[in-house]
Amino acid sequence: MSDVTQTTQATPAQTTVHRRTPFSARGEPRVWLMAMAVVVCLALIVGIIGLIVVRGSATFWQGPIDEVRLQDGSVFLGVPSVTETYQPQPDELERIEQARADGQLDNAHAFTKTGEPVRRRYFVGNRDLGQESFRWVPLWEVASIEQPKDVVLVERDEWGPFLGRVRTLRAVTDEDPNPTGQEFKPESVSDRELQSAIDTMEARRAAIARIDRTQIPRLQNQLRQLEWKLKAAHLNQERRAASADAPPAWLWWGAMVGCIVAVGGVLGLRKAVRHTNSGSRVPVAILACLLLATGSLAYLWLERPGSHKGMSDDQVTQIEQQVEAERNAILNEQSGLLTQLDDLREEDNRYRIIIEEPSLGRISPVSRSAPDDPMRLSQVVRIVPANDLSFSGRIGVYLSRWWEFLSTNPREGATAGGVYPVIVGTVTLTVLLTISVVPLGVIAALYLREYAKQGVVTSIIRIAINNLAGVPSIVYGMFGLGFFCYTLGGYIDEGPTEPTPVGSWWGLVGVLFLAILIAGACGLFVRRSGDRLPDSASRLISIGATVGWLVAVVLAFWAISSTPYFHGFFEAKLPEQTTFGGRGILWASLTLALLTLPVVIVATEEAIAAVPGSMREGSYGCGASKWQTIRKIVLPSAMPGILTGAILAMARGAGEVAPLMLVGAVNLAPALPVSTDAPFLHGDRTFMHLGFHIYTLGFQSPDSEATAPLVWTTTLLLITIVLLLNLIAIIVRARLRSRMATSAV
């Protein structure tokens, strides 16, 4: 021991190892570089989010209205937005020089210090009077700008806001339909009489909307249902007439024999089992017999002699009568509603409001084609006295606009009004997508990680799944449209287009059962026999099992897709209307589920792989089966990871637009995908989606300049909703994690 110490002490004296730390070993410059990269990334993220938040939340803020008087004497009202320098045209330059010479350029803000002219953009509205929503005004032309207290901004049903002054409110009476009627001039917008008139009008408008948009469409829908019911009855009548030809008798007998043989087989085998201890193969045999017996019995039942397909004439007549009675009842109700509606509309028509704009003294018209007829009071959504608002009043207007935005239906071809159905559509889609992708992905990942034999095939499958994540989303859209909407949806709607004849179809089913039996037997045999078989034999058997299952799956698809017993659930609606055979929220969410499947599979696989082996062993040691271990130990432990996958899938799916345009998102959906009518969730309906709505607002609206602020707001909303949905999942995950937290052992 002691000489060891001596040698170590002697070494430094003999060799002169000079240790130093080179500059490259000190990381400071790299740390600085990395920090800079992080700062750049952060700045980009904060920038984009900040921009969206600022622009998005500014949309509903009401600034003051300017009454601008130009030097040529004309006057207009406008809400100022942007002020900027510009490059005047040569002729404008001349006019500027002219004005300067005349000494009229007294506006100090009209030019910058360097002499460039300044212009300002005004939102002027009043689009139905034939002008653009925005107007650029060079400040040098402006003679004066005032902000009179009596000008208002009127938000209307149609044609965007109107800027002007409230002149009179009048009720047109029967005796004197046209000009005056009762008339009064409101002192201000907060005038009690005006407000109460607006309130009454609001109630009436709500009543009209209820009848017009809810009750009558519901009746019409019922009428259509009745028609379809009738049509279905007639189709069934025809089917009965056509189905007179009986199936080939030999098949009938064959099935009978198969049934008896099967039952006999079960009994015989059970007896045999009691004597010889043949163990595991008995379940297969019993399963086989049961399968055969079920198949034969199904055949016997469906093709029993004198079985009736379709409907008899009596039944059809009964249905006809029933439909007739119901139709009359509905028509009665409808005509009642229509008279009510007419009355309401007539009453509504009497109340007019006259709002005048200053430039030419024109009034806000009832419609574009009747410019001299003052607008109905009910066309007013909100009157904002923009220059007569306190700060709290402004905040009130701001909040009430937000509320309107979030809670009402869109107007004017989805370029104004609220986005309530859009929010509902987006949330429904995302929820549907999540609840369809998570189980699918988890099951796939479980099989891949827990059951499948790890090897070349599983590696190839993994690579394929990972690559699926990189396929452009529009491709999924095309697949969704082709497969889900047209193929699958078409099948649901009208059944197989070319059904196989009954006899051959049962032959197909027989072969299918055979394939299942062979595959099942091979599978069981290969697992139970262990290493008592030579390698080549067991390989052969396992190939047999695989091929058997493949054949079975193909045959099953074939059998299902060509069954002569299914005629679709919505046959009667065709060709007039597709149900599931067209675009809809169900297919859209399934398409997105497919798109986000790789994310879930990868995340779940990782989570499953991270479950410690000691836990599994503990479970097996307790006598748990594989499935019990997976369900009780592996899945709960992997839950946080699975939720991470779900969150990623949600985030990706909710922001996707391209595939949705193909499989179901529309500009303006006639109804919400969820409702209080059974079946509550209408998978066949088209829907609105925030992502697509942004596109619509930005590129499809006739006045895209005016809708630009709404684009920002909608973007803000989309981000918020995705964030909220994720937040829910994140909170659930955090709870799970804290439950899983280990003590310091």
Partner 1 sequence: MTTQTAQQALAEATNRKDAPSVVDVIAAGKPFPTEVHAEMRNTDAVVDVDQFSLWYGQTRALFEIKLEIPRQGVTALIGPSGCGKSTLLRSINRLNDLVDSVRTDGQMLLNGSPVYAPDVDVIELRKRLGMVFQKPNPFPMSIFENVVYPLRIDGENRRGLLMEACERALKAAALWDEVKDRLKHSALRLSGGQQQRLCIARAIVADPEVLLLDEPCSALDPLSTLRIEELITEISQRYTVIMVTHNMQQAARVSQATAFMYLGRLVEFGPTQSIFQTPHLDETEQYVSGRFG
Give the residues lining the site for partner 1 (CB under 8 A). Answer: 277, 279-280, 528-532, 612, 614-625, 628, 632-633, 636-637, 739-743, 745
Q: Which is nearer to partner 1, 148 or 618 (CB)?
A: 618
CA–CA dist 44, 58 (Å, integer): 21
Q: Which is nearer to partner 1, 486 or 620 (CB)?
A: 620
CB 450 within 8 A of CB 626: yes
Q: Please, what is the minimum distance in Å from the beta carbon of residue 442 to partner 1?
A: 17
Q: Please, what is the minimum distance in Å from the beta carbon of residue 452 to partner 1?
A: 13
Q: Please, what is the minimum distance in Å from the beta carbon of residue 268 to partner 1?
A: 21
Q: Which is nearer to partner 1, 42 or 457 (CB)?
A: 457
Angle 63-65-68 from CA coordinates, rounded to 5°: 140
Q: Which is nearer to partner 1, 279 or 679 (CB)?
A: 279
C-alpha pair distances (Å), 184 with each of 60, 168, 187, 458, 654? 31, 6, 9, 82, 52
Residue corresponding to tokens 């009994």: 267
Q: Please, what is the minimum distance in Å from the beta carbon of residue 157 to partner 1?
A: 58
Residue of 539, 549, 543, 542 whose CA lies nearest to 517: 549
Q: Which is nearer to partner 1, 282 or 338 (CB)?
A: 282
Residue 558 CB-density burial (10 A; 0-12 exposed, 13-18 middle, 19+ buried): middle
Q: Which is nearer to partner 1, 73 or 279 (CB)?
A: 279
CA–CA dist 467, 449 (Å, integer): 18
Q: Please, what is the minimum distance in Å from the beta carbon of residue 455 to partner 1?
A: 11
Provide Rg for the chain, Cα atoms.
38
Instruction: Say whether 374 sits in a helix, a strand or coil.
Output: strand
Q: Please, what is the minimum distance in Å from the beta carbon of residue 740 to partner 1?
A: 5
Q: Which is nearer to partner 1, 567 or 616 (CB)?
A: 616
Instruction: Say whether 417 sits in a helix, a strand or coil.
Output: strand
Q: Which is nearer to partner 1, 225 or 628 (CB)?
A: 628
Q: Please, what is the minimum distance in Å from the beta carbon of residue 265 to partner 1?
A: 22
Token pair for 83 = 């002020």
Q: Name residue 153's beta-bridge partners.
A: 163, 384
CB 141 within 8 A of CB 70: yes
Q: Which is nearer to partner 1, 594 or 642 (CB)?
A: 642
Q: Please, what is the minimum distance in Å from the beta carbon of residue 552 to partner 1?
A: 27
Q: Name residue 155's beta-bridge partners.
A: 382
Q: Please, what is the minimum distance in Å from the beta carbon of residue 451 to partner 1?
A: 13
Angle, helices 420-446/585-609, rounded to nearest 10 degrees? 40
C-alpha pair distances (Å), 134 with each of 63, 72, 74, 81, 686? 15, 20, 17, 10, 34
How far is it between the farthest Cα atoms of the chain?
129
